[in-house]
Chain A
């Protein structure tokens, strides 16, 4: 007779851990919300003034990063016991602009996730172009993807140069904590490495891996007839990805091809892309809009984008 039923014990322990995590997560999320609310209600004017003065990228890089990065609301985070809705604080202005965009999009999107009609696409592209202040298009050089509204799923990091490894991707402990657990894909991306060697690896390559998406290039109309031309077109093509439920948006590049049709997903996002879309918790999946960015001079920076 076994004195200790090990699997049962493990199960009980796992359940207890899950309960503890849920409890702490809920409690600390609520407390975090209160602190943000207090900060916003007491010093909202000064924080708003700052957010109008400097770019979100600069804020994220400076000592206010901890505020900014965590102050954007995400529907998925809420459902997963993540961070709460923001109060009137530094991010509220941003969040409210995002909310306005989300509200505007909700009136133009179909209730189900399906390919958009030409008319729907036109309307949405107009809204996005106006919101971001740069040209957003569903088609470039006569090429388009098979859809511009679909389900995004979380991807892993990609090897950037020969000899690269996961922990080399992060510069701070915070980055390691946020983006390390996603892991690194065992194989290379569709365009192979981002740089031929570590010595030739640039900041631009780093940003490309950080903010990459995988799109179903192989389903693009005309792809099978002109594979080389299409591959050249899609490689590192700049695209905007928008979470229509929250308005959170990220400028990305096409860094990989996929996911397979059978997955039910229509594109994939790097851990950083998913984070800034507010889709990094729970199932790491959700509906998004994705369009090309017409940026011939490569002036638009990759990463989370603020609404004008």
Chain B
């Protein structure tokens, strides 16, 4: 899983543990983990960008492209109230759906 500036507040291990139970090959697992990783990233970015104005979106994206975590957090904390909660909520919502998918898959036998 790629490390993102929000990785410390988004727990993903439970998804991997669940995925592990299927006994997929390394390649299959890698593919599914990549989908999880990217899906979460898209969901979190959507949540953040939805809180920003047009000009602020650009500043945020520039910090993201530069990979400067300090600047990203300083900027977000100054612009969006409870941004950490909002990130966490967006991730949790998607994680819930992914867990549900895995449960459903196992139920299919």
Interface residue ranges, A against B (CB under 8 Å): 13, 16-17, 19-21, 23-25, 27-29, 31-32, 35-36, 38-39, 42-43, 45-47, 49-50, 53-54, 58-59, 61-67, 69-70, 82-83, 172-174, 177-178, 180-181, 281
B75 in the interface, Cβ–Cβ < 8 Å? Answer: no
B32 in the interface, Cβ–Cβ < 8 Å? Answer: yes
CA distance in complex: A70, B31 (Å) = 11
B64–A64 contact, CB under 8 A?
A: yes
CA distance in complex: A258, B67 (Å) = 39
**Which chain A residue has the least Cβ–Cβ distance from B98?**
A28
Chain B contacts of A24 at CB under 8 A? 22, 32, 101-102, 105
A32–B105 contact, CB under 8 A?
A: no
B97–A31 contact, CB under 8 A?
A: yes
A178–B65 contact, CB under 8 A?
A: no
Interface residue ranges, B against A (CB under 8 Å): 1-5, 22-24, 26-39, 41-43, 45-46, 49-50, 54, 57-58, 61-62, 64-67, 69, 72, 94, 97-98, 101-102, 105-106, 108-109
Q: Would A62 and B65 be within 8 Å (CB), given that A31-B97, A173-B1, A174-B1 are in contact?
A: yes
CA distance in complex: A284, B27 (Å) = 13
Q: Would A17 and B22 be within 8 Å (CB), given that A39-B42, A64-B61, A66-B41 are in contact?
A: yes
A28–B22 contact, CB under 8 A?
A: no
Chain B contacts of A281 at CB under 8 A? 31
